[in-house]
Structure 1
Amino acid sequence: MTITIFGSIGSRASRCLWTIEETGQPYQWVPISTLDGANRSSEYLAINPSGKIPAMTDDAVVMTESTAINLYIAQHYGQASLWPDDRAVQARILQWTFWSATEIEYYIGAIFPHLVMKSEEQRDQAFVDRLLGEMMPKFGELERALAGQEYVLGDFTLADINLVVQTLTITDRFGLTLDELPNIKAWTERCRNRPARRKVDALAAAARK
């Protein structure tokens, strides 16, 4: 049975689509949206009673939460690439994944409505500026980790996906630059240009038409 990813391309489902694309594993994508009520259908609620996206099914395995889904995909289908055999590397993947979730994700989620969904007149710019002032210095840790490295752990792993989705949001959705973080800026573009990421971007462009 094929893995199925549920969720709109503009949601966190995109990071799961990227991860499964990197593995080369066959999958099905069902573009469930929260905007048209598809997430409240009886069929989808049977998969995820909360109605939130994304969700994933893989035979008897049913999962929600994008980061958990990514870890499952990497561990079961991305061995020796997204999830190398080296336990020390696995530990660092987990460390950076949770760093992204605990140190950065809150800020991205709080800023997103103001810079993406609201008009300039509606947004609370002082609130946005305060959160950016708190968030951006945190990236110094990642900037140092990328010094002399193409990817966070040397080779491309799941850590890169779970981290770079944040900087791609900053540049592509918020319209901000990473000029003060040159290592992160170059790494973000390397990740963006991976074939699997370009495939997801193409899906997103097609969905906007």
Structure 2
Amino acid sequence: MRKKEYVVGMSGASGAVYAIRLVQELCRQGHRVHLLITESVWQVFRLEMGWDITPGDRAAIPRWFNLPEDADLLIPEGRDYGSPVASGSHITEGMIVIPCSMGTLSAIAGGASDNLLERAADTHLKEGRPLILVPRETPFNKIHLKNMLACADAGAKIVPAMPGFYHRPETMDDLIDFVVGKALDALRVEHALFKRWGDREQE
């Protein structure tokens, strides 16, 4: 039986921790993950995560992400159009861009393929496969909103990084897991990252 495959795109928007947590969960469940990283992500790793990681050192990612040794993680170069996910003939269960910068959003809305992330997103749209975009920006201007609408009209689902509070989060991890869980819900991946409405008695 073919292993389920998911594509995770990381752009240079704030919120790298969301992608890290998402990859951890998908790998924990035994899925194959294609991780597509734009050039600006390496700077975000340093600024937000405090990692002294060498830009472009893809081999170090599993260790920095704290993944198990048997994690099925593929990390192609940013413009490796020979990667399987550059082609619509390669079947995946879907793709999530998390976090999705406004620049990446604009490129996807315009059908650009200037890097592998943008090409893979375009491929998922043209093949009618799930594409989940998790924008991390505030406030949105009219251009941002138009680009989100264009992507939604093309078949993408927009899941803004907006944590809920009805599950009474107690830690930063609770807030992160809520956003990641909502993204996984949109991709129809089962998980137990947060308590759902009605799962606990309201005090």
TM-score (norm 2): 0.33
More strand per residue: 2
